Amino acid sequence: MLLRAALVLFELLAFVLIAFVKLKPAFMEPYLTKEYELGYDKSLTWHPVMMTLAFSVFMNEGLIAFYMGDLVLTPRDRSRKTHGMLQLLALVTIVAAYFCMFSHNSVEGNDHFAMHTPKVGYKVHVYLGYTVIFLCLVQVSVGIRKYLVKTKTGVSVQKWHGYLGLLVYLLGQTNVVIGGFNCSHIEAYCLRIMMLIFVFMSVVTLLVTRHIAIKIKENEGSLGVPLMYHLPDEPGSDQYTKLPDEPDSDRV
């Protein structure tokens, strides 16, 4: 758990540093080009900041919350609620980030679909972005239905939800990197290494957590206690509490 806390601290610190530079601190102004358009009062600024927050923090933590339920034997209902709240927060942040870009393009008279730009990388960023936003809306809708059905009947439906969610997350993280590399401002060169490390660490943390959670569900715990049992509440006690069976568990 100490390692987990350190990784969360790293995520937050990296995000704060990225956001700090994006918000145009005064000491950087002499080093910026005239085309530099970022700052706390610019809608364009908040698009990359909020997209990074949505995918690399909220969505990342939402997925980890689901898998961590298996690692620390948290009741599945609790991990589902935490997962759902963080994913909803990620979706709200993604939509807000999109409207920041929409507002910027409307004010500047730019094409919302990059139809007239010769930059292939920017086109990829735009169309991948629209695809990911659409899939996020689908995922949240399916997730809400899954939770309601599971709560009322105990039956797990749309089991592909977990696999599609992981794909959407990876596509979103990829687009965060693509967006950063399409930026032409001088400050982008300083941020690229930081951004790559940040995204890489968050993705690796998630995938490692997922892998361990799956292995633990497939095998008995290190104490030889089946996973359907809670660890004893009292130190030295050998009395284990049996968890309810979940034959339709949503392993992803």
Q: What are phi and psi of 171, to 5 degrees?
A: -65, -40
- DSSP H helical ranges for 36-119: 43-52, 60-71, 76-108
Question: Residues with Cβ < 8 Å from 16, sequence gap 6 or more?
Answer: none
Q: Please state, in angstroms and as integers, the Cα–Cα distance from residue 34 to each residue in 30, 115, 117, 155, 182, following that order.
A: 10, 26, 21, 58, 17
Please enumerate in sequence order all residues whose Cβ is within 8 A of that of 161, keeping only pairs 6 or more positions apart, or say none. 139, 142, 143, 146, 250, 252
User: How many helices and strands, by DSSP H and E, does the chain display?
Assistant: 7, 2
* Spatial distance between the Cα atoms of 52 and 74, rounded to a whole number of angstroms: 28
Q: How many CB atoms lie within 10 A of CB 194?
A: 14
Q: In sequence order, what E strands does the chain have?
A: 229-230, 241-242
Instruction: Round to whole Å and give the CA distance between 15 and 89.
Output: 16
Q: What is the mean pLDDT of residues 55-73?
A: 84
CATH of 2-230, one of 2.60.120.380, 1.20.120.1770, 1.10.10.60, 3.10.450.630: 1.20.120.1770
239/154: higher pLDDT: 154
d(CA 168, CA 129): 10
Beta-bridge partners for 242: 229
81-108: per-residue pLDDT in tens?
999 999 999 999 999 999 999 998 898 8
Q: At what angle do helices 43-52 and 160-182 cross, to 10 degrees?
A: 140
Which token pair is 118?
């010769």
- pLDDT of the residue at 236: 42
Radius of gyration of the chain (CA): 21
Q: What per-residue confidence (pLDDT) applies to 161?
A: 95
Determine the Cα–Cα distance for residues 214 and 216; give it in Å rounded to an integer.
Answer: 5
- Sign of the CA dihedral 193, 197, 168, 54? negative
What gap in Å lies between CA 243 and CA 82, rounded to an integer? Answer: 19
Cβ atoms within 10 Å, residue 95? 15
d(C-alpha 29, C-alpha 184), whole Å: 16
Residue 5 has a pLDDT of: 63
Is residue 241's pLDDT more than 70?
Answer: no
Residue 165 has pLDDT above 90, yes or no: yes
Q: Where are the domains of the chain?
A: 2-230
Q: Tell me the mean pLDDT in the region 206-216.
A: 86
